[in-house]
A and B are shown apart, each in its own frame.
Chain A
């Protein structure tokens, strides 16, 4: 199915390219009418590129790209943005950075897209980071939480979206210091960029006592069949805090194993693995009680949101435009909310759709509310602040759901 949709997109691209050639004279006219257009924009269309892992090991995350495509399909049916249809070209990079580079060049140089929206993966975005900034093509709202995306001084064409891993790590550390007496901290982390970012933030949050309190750090590779051995190692240190930096499958394994070997530390689970549907229910809710995480989106299987208007709209959209998607999969929420943000920025651009103005509008978000984010979270950016979402709310598993506690915590407070 991925391949078909890929082919279809390619065919659409070809058609669109042919259309562009025919429409060339009209662009000249429209330019005269004081509309400012960057590459990929006409009176009737805005061309946007995207890369996502639709195949390969990380294909679970491909739901983000499918959700974004489905969102823009809905926008187009509703008449587009300021009268322009979105031509969303989403290509499969299989989570492989060299492939991302190749496809990005194709999108920028051959398809001539206005911008790249939410390319997925830390390594994949890293691979095109320099290229995008050199070419001055917006790389907007990247679908990764690494902290390096908010650096407008050096990379003014790249912007993150979700709260970054580093900040989240700081928040867990502060919480552990404030709530656990004599913390002895054991850490399990995925051996990649994500794992390092989360760990560095956590260390920073602990400050000078980091070396004293962290008693053991075990790593695993995504190719490891199980993490049982690591869990035994960590339990053996007698730690009373467990910082669990994993992706859903390994998070579920770790939670289940901790329960099996009777280890009951204060358990901090990173947000990327905190989905009820993808991690906690498979691990067994009885094993999850008391686990703490930080949230910024609404978990779609959490019954408390069932009647909130944005959830109702989202669910209707899922059923109509993204029917193949799993309701329990948080990627369908982030993909949707991220595409909503993109549409908001394009709408704000009006008829001035140059790459410069898109970046300008993206960096001018003021208290923007996005559906499916937690109540109270507002997006803010400026010329010097390229971290749109900075607030999270801590939550603890109670019974069969995440129970929020405390106030919204923003990065500055964290």
Chain B
């Protein structure tokens, strides 16, 4: 029984990581209608920038803010210079481009900062809530930050004109353009915001899994599963999806299929959701007029 509770607690905390990453994926999807396979590597790269700043003597929160700004600018530039020329290209070309970005960021991080794992500081106090090492303050912090980001994003998309314009640009570019929305810039903005969210996710994840160029590779798969479970177009769903995947993964791994098949389990979730309920548990079915 104790093990069960421990596994659930541990599942919730890894779930928070997946939720964080899923949020970035959803952000890109909502604002550009694409799934960015390089999201994880962009987040990892941003985290390295934060690490380099902290190594250079910058205080944690300044580095945190600066990294978000740099990541935002980086995402914006990627959209402007790499994706804009491909705006009318078929989806497959974009997928190839995303995978290329993934590989480029991964190798660049390795060349610049080497592949040795690095410790990344946590802004939250050491120690934990229960005294048994189950729920550390950092993990509570991760959950808290994720929820705050979720709240901000939801308000942004629901209550601001800019948010509305961004959603419009993603879902129906030509109508949006006719309504006077600068579609191309909305996409760039979406990329910038997703990159900034990714940077936050990376900086929260790194103290737990340690910083190395392959830090996000495994997490991204679980992030995809989380985003799909919740509905890829729904930020709130993605966060709940993250927790669901995290807990299920631990329970299924510990009690049913064994640890060997945990990743397969995440992939089964992805395929299962796509087959049975493509819109996810909380997603709306997207109807497009053609």
Query: Which residues of A pack against B, CB within 8 Å?
Result: 1-2, 55, 57, 59-60, 62-63, 191, 218-226, 228-230, 232-233, 236, 248-249, 252-253, 257, 259-262, 277-279, 281-284, 326, 328-329
Tell me whether B14 and A228 are in contact (CB under 8 A).
yes
In the complex, which residues of chain A have a beta carbon less than 8 angstroms from the beta carbon of B6? Answer: 232, 236
Contact check: which of A191, A220, A225, A329 meets B114 at CB < 8 Å? A329
- CB of B214 within 8 A of chain A? yes
* Tally of chain B residues near chain A (CB < 8 A): 45
The answer to whether A329 and B2 touch (CB under 8 A), given A224-B262, A225-B218, A260-B136, is: no
Query: Which residues of B pack against A, CB within 8 Å?
Result: 2-3, 6-7, 10-11, 13-14, 17-18, 103, 107, 110-111, 114-119, 128, 132-134, 136, 208-210, 212-214, 217-219, 221-222, 249-250, 253-254, 258-260, 262-263
Closest Cβ of chain B to A267, distance in Å, is 16
In the complex, which residues of chain B have a beta carbon less than 8 angstroms from the beta carbon of A261? Answer: 132-134
- A252 to B136: give the CA distance in the assembly, Å: 17
Tell me whether A219 and B260 are in contact (CB under 8 A).
yes
- A357 to B221: give the CA distance in the assembly, Å: 50
The answer to whether A232 and B259 touch (CB under 8 A), given A60-B212, A226-B208, is: no
Tell me whether B10 and A224 are in contact (CB under 8 A).
no
In the complex, which residues of chain B have a beta carbon less than 8 angstroms from the beta carbon of A284? Answer: 119
Tell me whether A229 and B7 are in contact (CB under 8 A).
yes
Of all chain B residues, which has the CB nearest A284?
Answer: B119
In the complex, which residues of chain B have a beta carbon less than 8 angstroms from the beta carbon of A222? Answer: 218
Tell me whether B263 and A224 are in contact (CB under 8 A).
yes
In the complex, which residues of chain B have a beta carbon less than 8 angstroms from the beta carbon of A59? Answer: 107, 110, 115, 213
Tell me whether A233 and B254 are in contact (CB under 8 A).
yes
Tell me whether B263 and A278 are in contact (CB under 8 A).
no
Tell me whether A252 and B110 are in contact (CB under 8 A).
no
Known: A2-B111, A228-B10, A259-B133. 13 other contacts (CB 8 A): A60-B110, A60-B115, A225-B14, A229-B7, A236-B2, A248-B117, A249-B117, A249-B210, A249-B212, A253-B208, A253-B210, A260-B133, A261-B132
The answer to whether A233 and B3 touch (CB under 8 A), given A223-B263, A282-B210, is: yes
In the complex, which residues of chain A have a beta carbon less than 8 angstroms from the beta carbon of B208? Answer: 226, 253
Of all chain B residues, which has the CB nearest A188?
Answer: B259
In the complex, which residues of chain A have a beta carbon less than 8 angstroms from the beta carbon of B11? Answer: 229
Closest Cβ of chain A to B202, distance in Å, is 13
In the complex, which residues of chain B have a beta carbon less than 8 angstroms from the beta carbon of A221? Answer: 259-260, 262-263
Tell me whether B119 and A224 are in contact (CB under 8 A).
no
In the complex, which residues of chain B have a beta carbon less than 8 angstroms from the beta carbon of A218? Answer: 259
Q: Closest 6 interchain pairs by CB?
A: A60-B115, A261-B133, A260-B133, A223-B218, A282-B119, A225-B219
Tell me whether B259 and A229 are in contact (CB under 8 A).
yes
Closest Cβ of chain B to A318, distance in Å, is 13
Of listed A57, A220, A223, residue having the most chain B CB within 10 A: A223
Tell me whether B217 and A223 are in contact (CB under 8 A).
yes
The answer to whether A252 and B10 touch (CB under 8 A), given A1-B111, A223-B217, A262-B133, is: no
Tell me whether A57 and B134 are in contact (CB under 8 A).
no
Q: Can you spell out 21 A-B residue pairs with CB atoms less than 8 angstroms apart? A: A55-B107, A59-B213, A60-B115, A60-B116, A219-B259, A223-B218, A229-B10, A229-B11, A229-B14, A229-B250, A232-B10, A233-B7, A249-B117, A253-B208, A253-B209, A261-B133, A261-B134, A282-B118, A283-B119, A326-B116, A329-B116
In the complex, which residues of chain A have a beta carbon less than 8 angstroms from the beta carbon of B262? Answer: 221, 224
In the complex, which residues of chain B have a beta carbon less than 8 angstroms from the beta carbon of A226? Answer: 14, 17, 208-209
- A191 to B261: give the CA distance in the assembly, Å: 11
In the complex, which residues of chain B have a beta carbon less than 8 angstroms from the beta carbon of A259? Answer: 133
